[in-house]
Amino acid sequence: MTQDILSLLQNLHPYDVLPQATRATIARTVERVSVPRDGFVYAHGEQLEGLYIILDGQIAVKDRLNAPISLLGRENSFGERGLLKDGIAVTSAIATVDSALICLPAHLFHTLNSQFPAFKRFFDRTRSDSQNDGAKAFDLTSVRVESLMVAPPLTCRATDSVTHAAQMMRDKRISCLCVTDADTLTGIVTLRDISNKVVADGLALDTPVAQVMTHSPRTLPPSAIGSDVLHLMMEYRLGHLPIVSGNDLVGIVTQTDLTKFQASNTAGFVGEAARATSIDALAAITKRIPNLLAQLVAAGNRHDVVTRMITDIADVVTRRLLAMAEDEFGPPPVRYLWLACGSQGRQEQTGVSDQDNCLILDDDVDERGLAYFQRFAQFVCDGLNACGYVYCPGDMMATTPRWCQPVSVWREYFQHWIAAPSKEAQMLASVMFDLRPIGGDMSLFDGLQQDTLKAASSNSIFTAHMASNALTHATPLGMLRGFATIRSGEHRNTIDMKLNGVVPVVDLGRMYALQGQLSVANTRARVEAAISTAFVSESGGRDLLDAYDLVAQTRLEHQANQIKRGTPPDNFLAPDQLSGFERSHLRDAFVVIKTMQSALMQGRGVMS
């Protein structure tokens, strides 16, 4: 079990920023806890044994009045609020299904909290983020109506016949129509109105809608919050609530919308994906991810929380496809390890993500084994593509024979890239330094990463080339406090918030990890680890984190707004969509990033 726990901690923040020896101590010290369905992990007011991490299952956290706060799934932790207070549980934790947990003893939690600043910052932030990010994400008190409503709603006129209204609802598979005069709401008609007032009373089919509709229905403005909708619906037994701005109809919220919102949590996605029996079933689940992303952003979650949740779903989908591939082709002939690189490897997936992956095989693999894994990889990559994680345009996938090789060949790859840092070697090394194991035998990765980091950091020529390569992505700073936008093509007058916004910080984080021999892959965790190990100055590192948070959050909010409008999300933001205040702060963030790039270019790190 110790090795399994160690593998988990290596890829779980904030444990991934701790020294390897410390993680090994944690893995030996934690206790495994099994909790049956409806069983208590602890109750409010009890002495806490430690911090709990979910290995499998689902835990409901409730307040002292038994009101639900959050629903947590695999790799989520809980109990820190009580530990950081006085060791007494301030909530109750109950298993909703049979669950497996590990418990990090309270004394060790406090030791880590006092010795490692990055570890402490993580739990301080978790505690301050409205109790719990998982609860915040799906709390109707924290989401505005404009992110719940369907816009624009379908409408009809008061003079239309009930037959016409019924046909519209049937064809669009909806349960109501808003009745308008121009853009002004005058009423609402539902399927129940037609059933109870037309069919039941035997009215003529050409009866005008005005005769059966609800006149001057209750409404809310877009600035209302989700709980306002819920309370109004419960008080007046409403199933549909129009949303108006001034006199204009702008949207509608139904009971179904509320149900979907509250059901759209990552634990639910993970559970469904883990139980899916076909690729079509997985694709039906991942199709809902854009709406999940929009809801997570609307609820005020930080970019790193949202992207981690989105990536967690991709990880489970990938592991489910690996299991399906084994069912399809039989047991693997040798040990294998499936790894992700790119945004999935860094746990930074957004609404726009292709797939980047590879396979590491046991050195005992023969030609027949290689043929097996080629079919295996094709099945998994085809499945990922069907689920919306489109094929990598650069063929950085396990289907490419080059990226499906024994572990000894992978060691040769890294040795060659470090010894002869050509342009291609720099590019490949940049991608492969973001590797993160997803499924298979984790021991195949043991030693490979640490040996590679050690060799790379000690080769000054290689690190110089990598630093130069990391500076190829410029921030979009223009003259006279403006932005350097794209000048031509379909994205004219926009900023590429990925290539010129997020990627420069990703490159800096990778260089810090390389030079400091840091094993973490997540960009924010890399910068935090660089600060905690004094590789980067506290002031410079904190400024970079703040700048990165603003750029990444702006990018994510841009994508969420596109999803709400029903358009495919992308990375191209027009600065004129932002307020003057937002543009000013975004430009300041780019100035910070450029300053840190300059420090790296001058070989000073950011210690001066």
Q: CATH code at 150?
A: 3.10.580.10
- pLDDT in the model for residue 67: 65
Is 401 exposed, middle or buried, given 0-12, 13-18 or 19+ CB atoms closer than 10 A?
exposed
Contact (CB, 8 A) for 57 and 23: no
**Type and span of the H or E element at 406:** strand 404-406
* Reported confidence tier of residue 605, pLDDT bands at 50, 70, 90: very low
Two tokens, residue 281 = 């079933």
Q: Are residues 126 and 152 in the same domain?
A: no
Residue 608 belongs to a domain: no
pLDDT of residue 228: 82
> Among residues 538, 554, 539, which one has the least CA distance to residue 589?
554
How many helices (H) and strands (E) the chain has is answered by 24, 20
In the predicted structure, residue 177 carries a pLDDT above the cut 90 = yes
- Check whether 580 has a pLDDT greater than 90: no
CB 35 within 8 A of CB 99: yes
Length of the chain: 608
* Distance of alpha carbon 296 from the chain centroid: 9
Same domain, 424 and 478: no
- With a cut of 60, say whether residue 135 has pLDDT above it: no
Q: Is the pLDDT of residue 133 over 50?
A: no
Residue 461 CB partners (closer than 8 Å, separation 6+): 421
What CA–CA distance (Å, rounded) separates 138 from 299?
Answer: 7
The CA distance from 69 to 82, in Å, is: 15
Is 607 inside any structural domain? no
Contact status, residue 529 vs residue 518, Cβ threshold 8 Å: yes
Which of 72, 105, 130 corresponds to the end of one domain?
130
Is residue 416 included in any domain, yes or no?
Answer: yes
pLDDT tens profile 260-303: 666 556 666 877 888 889 999 999 999 989 988 988 887 778 89
The pLDDT confidence band at residue 603, using thresholds 50, 70 and 90, is: low
Mean pLDDT of 128-132: 42
pLDDT of residue 252: 93
- Which is more confidently placed, 235 or 595? 595
Q: Is residue 308 part of a domain?
A: no
458 found inside a domain: no
392 and 501, same domain (yes or no): no
Q: Binning pLDDT at 50, 70 and 90, where does residue 556 land?
A: very high
Within a domain: 373: yes
Share of the chain above pLDDT 90, in %: 50
Domain co-membership, 250 together with 341: no
**pTM for the model:** 0.67
What is the arithmetic mean of pLDDT over 20-33? 91
pLDDT value at 147 more than 70: yes
Which residues, 6 or more positions from 528, have their beta carbon under 8 angstroms from its beta carbon? Answer: 14, 17, 118, 121, 122, 541, 545
Residue 343: what pLDDT?
92
Least confident of 116-125, 128-137, 535-544: 128-137
pLDDT of residue 33: 95
For residue 138, the model assigns a pLDDT of 52
Within-domain flag for 284? no
Q: Is 93 exposed, middle or buried (0-12, 13-18, 19+ CB in 10 A)?
A: buried
Mean pLDDT of 2-7: 81
CA dist 286 and 387 (Å) reads: 6
pLDDT digits (tens, 9 = 90+) for 218-243: 999 887 888 788 878 877 888 899 99
Q: Are residues 155 and 242 in the same domain?
A: yes
Q: Domain count of the chain?
A: 4
Does residue 423 sit in the same domain as residue 543? no
The pLDDT tens digits of the residues spanning 331-361 come to 999 999 999 999 999 999 998 788 999 999 9
* pLDDT tens-digit map of 77-117: 899 888 988 899 988 999 988 999 999 999 999 999 888 87
Residue 148 scores a pLDDT above 90: no
Q: What is the pLDDT of residues 417-467, one digit of tens each?
A: 998 888 888 888 888 889 999 989 888 987 888 888 888 888 888 988 888
User: Binning pLDDT at 50, 70 and 90, where does residue 535 land?
Assistant: confident
473-525 pLDDT, tens digit each = 899 998 666 899 999 999 999 999 999 999 999 999 999 988 888 888 899 98
- In the chain, the N- to C-terminal Cα span, in Å, equals 45
User: Both 433 and 325 in a single domain?
Assistant: yes
- What DSSP letter does each residue of 21-35 carry, written as one string? HHHHHHHHH-EEEEE
Residue-level pLDDT at 74: 79
From the list 438, 374, 372, 450, the residue with the least C-alpha distance to 411 is 450
Last residue of a domain, one of 235, 261, 287: 261
- Are 471 and 595 in the same domain? yes
What's the whole-number mean pLDDT along residues 530-552?
91
Q: What is residue 130's predicted lDDT score, i.e. its pLDDT? A: 38
Mean model confidence pLDDT for the chain: 87
pLDDT of residue 607: 38
32-72 pLDDT tens trace: 999 999 899 999 889 999 999 999 888 888 877 776 666 67
**Same domain for 328 and 417?**
yes
pLDDT at 134 over 50: no
From the list 320, 319, 295, the residue with the least C-alpha distance to 306 is 295
Domain that holds residue 52: 2-130
Residue with the larger pLDDT of the pair 415 and 227: 415
Residue 558: which CATH number?
1.20.120
Other residues' Cβ atoms within 10 Å of the Cβ of residue 362? 18
The last residue of a domain, from among 383, 410, 445: 445
161 with 200, same domain?
yes
The CATH number of the domain holding residue 14 is 2.60.120.10
Residues 124, 150, single domain; the answer is no
User: Which CATH number goes with the domain that contains 379?
Assistant: 3.30.460.10
Residue 10 confidence (pLDDT): 78
Asked if the structure places residue 452 within a domain, the reply is no
Q: Do 405 and 493 belong together in one domain?
A: no
